[in-house]
Amino acid sequence: MADKNEPLIVFSPSGKRGRFPKGTPVLQAARSLGVDLDSVCGGRALCGRCQVVVTEGELSKHGIDSRLENLSARGETESRYSERRKLANNRRLGCQALLLGDVAIDVPASSQVHKQVVRKQHEAHDIQINPATHAYFVEVTKPDMHDPSGDLERLKLALQRDWQLEDLRISLPALQTLQTVLRKEDWQVTAAVRSDGEIVAVWPGLKTKLYGVAIDIGSTTIAAHLCDLASGEVLSSAGQMNPQIRFGEDLMSRVSYIMMNEGGETELTAVVREAINNLIAEVVSDAKLSLDTVVEVTIVGNPIMMHLVMGLNPVELGMAPFALASDAAASLPARDLGLTINSGGYVYALPCIAGHVGADAAGVLLAESPYEREEISLIVDVGTNAEMLLGNRDRILAASSPTGPAFEGAQISSGQRAAPGAIERVRIDPETLEPRYRIIGSELWSDDPAFPDSIPACGVTGICGSGIIEAIAELYLAGVINSDGTISGDAAKRSDRVTADGRTFSYTLLRGERDITVQQNDVRAIQLAKAALYAGARLLMEKLGVEKVDRIRLAGAFGAHIDVKYAMVLGMIPDCRLDMVSSAGNAAGTGARIALLDNNSRSEIEKQTRNVEKIETAVEERFQHHFVAAMAIPHDADAFDELEKVVKLPKKTVQMTTSGRRRRRR
Ligand code: FES
């Protein structure tokens, strides 16, 4: 027989239930049952993080009649909170509402500590919220002549008493401000405590929100995302060009700069850190917050960028055997890296996988988690180098292929970066060879009557990476480009858009003040880039012992823009069911965000990267073999059965005999 003095409380969504003496606060019941219900103020009706909702009605599933009045009415403290912070009518503060009878309590996602952030549909899985640093509000006992203990010792006692935090230590910056902070709001303070027991910051009064910034350092651009560490919400994002570009467009020229200029590494470290600080300041000010509420930063980037941010000289990465100073993840005080967040805050740098496969690839690995799947995934992050991961739950291999900057529009006669005015989509009529195209900044195709009025003010300025790939693939499908990559002179008889250009031919995509053309050298540059990418993937498949991959994920901005069908027609990626090829978005940045929000993910990615088998393309004989065969469009020998189910590929013309030349790593 149920004891009326010990009502039943049932929590959803956890399903946890138990009986407690009448008068027990809901928060206390939740805690003793291990229900995930948040609190920063420790039950003082200040933080509002413990909000719950009563599910009313006869709940046969639980065998209870759950009623609002089975919780105590709103008292003065809760009403005061409601006046100040507007507590919705159906919500109660779990720390104030007392159990009077049987009740079913729903803990909304916003009140859960370990809530999940639902990621976009195309992304791998949701993010678990479990940040490395939490806020704890306490009232510290005042000093007493008869009890001569230090302020820190009394703060530790309060944290132990109210939050069961043991063996704490404190960062020097937090200790330096502690005495002033404690006295500012009558000994009521909020301490930010890391999971390893370090008090990193202390603020006067109640501070319910802590923030973190996830940073993705590319060789061309740097991006920062400011996140609420409790909700996981991205509050603002910003990006800027990597100012190191002035020392060299590609990574190797920056390493050469360091080799040739004494102290060059210090200069490169200083500019990248300054850029990161500017970005952090920008996202924090956009969200109208102050820098001292930012207590965590996570960083991903290629190995050279990771070295430079940490103030390590990257010259060893410029030559074989490409030794990293360390491939381990690093958790460092932000002040040691000169980062201007809270002076006690921390930076977590994700681990590098190998000398050419950096923490950005570790971020991709974390975001995509191919190690949790049965199917074989090929994940490619296309940039100046293409970083690749291949495998499944049994084995993961990684490599980096020197694709060069052609996919980013560089080394292409009319090429440009993806920016308004750049041609990004191309279709060519296989009969007339007349083109139509779309540009960044307009939603319309060029043959739409309204197109001329939709062009951005800059006009049509050039062709970006996805545009040149589509143009070459379409020219191949239309029979203008042969499978060996030659622009055919015969096509000149079919259209005056194909014209002789010295000893080769070119195709004019757009006639204007400045013609936009596809020249023979452009096709060669793209062939070299795509052959490097394909060869890397093929080498990994060979090592893994598979002939086919089950799915392909294209990460990075390039992956988001490219039409996968054309990438396959060109032979950039191996044959695969087209509906199994998709964009992974900015997976490296997502990995940085996961590491920021979920402390457990850090040990996970550290473990996974240790298990990854690294393949160094530069020393693999078979890479060169695959590279030469992959110069043909789509390939000299490999079949593209899946692709041919949806696209009719032209008959092969000339067998590839060209000896591909080894590419310099960028
Ligand atoms: S625990 Fe802070 S308001 Fe209830």
Secondary structure (DSSP) of 479-514: TSB-TTSPBPGGGGGT-TTEEEETTEEEEEEE-SSS
pLDDT of residue 574: 97
Which of 13-27, 54-68, 526-540, 630-644 bottoms out in mean pLDDT, i.e. has the lowest?
Answer: 54-68
Hey, do 8-111 and 132-204 end up sharing a CATH topology, with the first three levels equal?
yes
Task: Find all residues with CB under 8 Å of 644, minimum gap 6, and list them.
Answer: none
| Domain ranges (residues) in the chain | 8-111, 132-204, 212-361, 369-403+537-644, 414-518
Output the six-digit token pair for 555: 């990460």
Identify which of 77, 93, 110, 136 to mutate to test ligand 1's pocket (most ligand atoms within 8 A of the CB): 93
Nearest to 398 by CA among 446, 363, 439: 363
pLDDT over 90 percentage in the chain: 75
pLDDT of residue 5: 85
CA 283 to chain CA centroid, nearest Å: 16
**How far is Cα 104 from Cα 300, in angstroms, rounded to an integer?**
44
Distance from the alpha carbon of residue 75 to the mean position of ligand 1, in angstroms: 14
**How far is Cα 664 from Cα 666, in angstroms, rounded to an integer?**
6
Give CA torsion, residues 328, 344, 199, 117, to 10 deg. -70
Tell me the average pLDDT across 574-583. 94
Amino acid at 647: V
Residues enclosing ligand 1, CB less than 6 A?
A: 27, 39, 41, 43, 45-50, 93-95
Identify which of 50, 111, 136 to mutate to test ligand 1's pocket (most ligand atoms within 8 A of the CB): 50
pLDDT of residue 356: 84
Distance from the alpha carbon of residue 175 to the mean position of ligand 1, in angstroms: 27
Identify which of 26, 47, 79, 86 to mutate to test ligand 1's pocket (most ligand atoms within 8 A of the CB): 47
> What does the pLDDT look like over 338-379, one tens digit per residue?
999 999 999 999 999 988 899 999 999 999 999 999 999 999
Distance from the alpha carbon of residue 49 to the mean position of ligand 1, in angstroms: 5
Exposure on the CB side of residue 608, measured as CA atoms within 13 A: 28
φ/ψ of 59, rounded to 5, equals: -105, 95
Q: Whose CA is nearest to atom 1 of ligand 1?
A: 43
Please determine, for residue 414, whether its predicted confidence score (pLDDT) is greater than 80.
yes
pLDDT of residue 269: 96
Residue 611: CB atoms within 10 A of its CB come to: 10
CATH of the domain spanning 8-111: 3.10.20.30
Please determine, for residue 24, whether its predicted confidence score (pLDDT) is greater than 90.
yes
Q: Report cis status (omega within 30 of 0) of the bond before 456.
A: no
Distance from the alpha carbon of residue 93 to the mean position of ligand 1, in angstroms: 6
pLDDT of residue 2: 60
By the 8 A CB rule, do 172 and 557 touch? Answer: no
Identify which of 28, 41, 111 to mutate to test ligand 1's pocket (most ligand atoms within 8 A of the CB): 41
Tell me the average pLDDT across 32-41. 91
> What does the pLDDT look like over 519-533, one tens digit per residue?
999 999 999 999 999
Q: pTM (2 decimals)?
A: 0.85
Distance from the alpha carbon of residue 270 to the mean position of ligand 1, in angstroms: 43
- Which option is the CATH number for 132-204: 3.40.50.300, 3.40.309.10, 3.10.20.880, 3.40.50.2300? 3.10.20.880
* CA dihedral sign, ordered 655, 661, 665, 666: negative
Q: Which atom of ligand 1 is nearest to the CA of 51?
A: 4
CA 147 to chain CA centroid, nearest Å: 51
**How far is Cα 427 from Cα 210, in angstroms, rounded to an integer?**
50
**How far is Cα 574 from Cα 399, in angstroms, rounded to an integer?**
15
- Beta strands (DSSP E) in 20-95 are 51-55, 57-59, 64-66, 91-93
Distance from the alpha carbon of residue 4 to the mean position of ligand 1, in angstroms: 27
**How far is Cα 484 from Cα 154, in angstroms, rounded to an integer?**
77
Match 């970083």 to its residue by tokens: 387
DSSP-derived 3-state class of residue 416: coil
Tell me the average pLDDT across 126-140. 94
The CATH class of 212-361 is alpha beta
Tell me the average pLDDT across 641-663. 69
DSSP 8-state secondary structure symbol assigned to residue 412: S
